[in-house]
């Protein structure tokens, strides 16, 4: 095993581990305000959390970026970067990252509006955050093409491939249903499961790097 193979596997795996942990941490830092607050009470609630809004927004952007990097690395390691599943992964990753950065922009707008005493802009930005969150589930589910890549290669065990397809399909279905009926508690549970999947896949990738696996051995065999 050469040094570049080891470095790629270790770096990719660490992105898969750290990214979801940062992303989940960002959601914990930026909780939703209690329902039913008056405009003045909502402004006061946000003013006390200006620093949290800024830090949580930054963490969300970085966490999303690391997850997308890990997803693209799995596609590259599986030898599928130029195939259909690889291109769908690139499309889904770019869409998710763009939507995440848009949401982060509104978080920053809320913090800046609160600091400037601009309640109207803060309320509008807060409402747009909730709207943008629906787009995450309308965008292509990242785990669907990744699951196909895993099943067609040796980049990870087949259990990762089947579970990725199941989680991705669930999120895609919830994306449609969530527009019609409130399903946020269910969505939150599935998103936590997805984050756990990425962490487990990242750990498995790091272990492959430590065990001396060669990148060339992870691509599909000629007969697959």
- What is the full DSSP assignment across the chain? --HHHHHHHHHHHHHHHHHHHHHHHHHHHSPPPPTT--HHHHHHHHHTTHHHHHHHHHHHHHHHHHHHHHHHHHHHHTT-TTSHHHHHHHHHHHHHHHHHHHHHHHHHHHHHHHHHT-HHHHHHHHHHHHHHHHHHHHSPPTHHHHHHHHHTSSSS-HHHHHHHHHHHHHHHHHHHHHHHS--HHHHHHHHHHHHHHHHHHHHHHHHHHHHT--GGGSSPPTT-
The parent domain of residue 42 ranges over 3-209
Q: What is the pTM of this model?
A: 0.85
Residue 222 lies in a domain: no
Residue 185 lies in a domain: yes
Residue 7 lies in a domain: yes
Residue 128 lies in a domain: yes
Question: Where do we find the tokens 């200006």?
Answer: 50
Residue 30 lies in a domain: yes
- Model pLDDT for residues 104-161, shown as the tens digit of each residue: 888 888 777 777 777 777 777 777 777 777 676 677 789 999 999 999 988 899 999 9
Query: Span 55-64, mean pLDDT?
Result: 90
Question: Alpha-carbon distance 90 to 76, whole Å?
Answer: 11
Residue 156 lies in a domain: yes
Number of structural domains in the chain: 1
pLDDT at 32 over 70: no
Question: Alpha-carbon distance 219 to 217, whole Å?
Answer: 6
Residue 40 lies in a domain: yes
Residue 57 lies in a domain: yes
């Amino acid at each position: 095993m050469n040094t570049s193979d080891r470095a790629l596997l270790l770096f990719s795996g660490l992105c898969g581990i750290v990214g979801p942990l940062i992303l989940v941490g960002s959601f914990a830092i930026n909780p939703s305000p209690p329902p039913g607050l008056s405009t003045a009470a909502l402004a006061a609630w946000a003013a006390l959390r200006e620093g949290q809004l800024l830090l949580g927004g930054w963490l969300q952007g970085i966490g999303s970026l690391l997850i997308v990097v890990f997803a693209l690395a799995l596609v590259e390691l599986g030898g599928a970067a130029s195939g259909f599943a690889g291109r769908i992964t690139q499309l889904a990753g770019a869409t998710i990252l763009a939507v995440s950065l848009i949401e982060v922009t509104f978080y920053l707008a809320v913090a800046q509006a609160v600091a400037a005493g601009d309640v109207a802009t803060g309320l509008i930005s807060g409402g747009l955050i909730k709207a943008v969150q629906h787009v995450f589930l309308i965008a292509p589910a990242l785990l669907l093409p990744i699951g196909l890549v895993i099943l067609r290669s040796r980049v990870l065990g087949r259990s990762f491939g089947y579970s990725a397809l199941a989680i991705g399909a669930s999120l895609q279905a919830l994306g449609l249903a969530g527009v019609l009926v409130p399903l946020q508690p269910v969505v939150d549970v599935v998103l936590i499961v997805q984050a756990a999947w990425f962490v487990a896949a990242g750990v498995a990738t790091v272990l492959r790097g430590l065990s001396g696996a060669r990148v060339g051995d992870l691509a599909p065999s000629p007969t697959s």
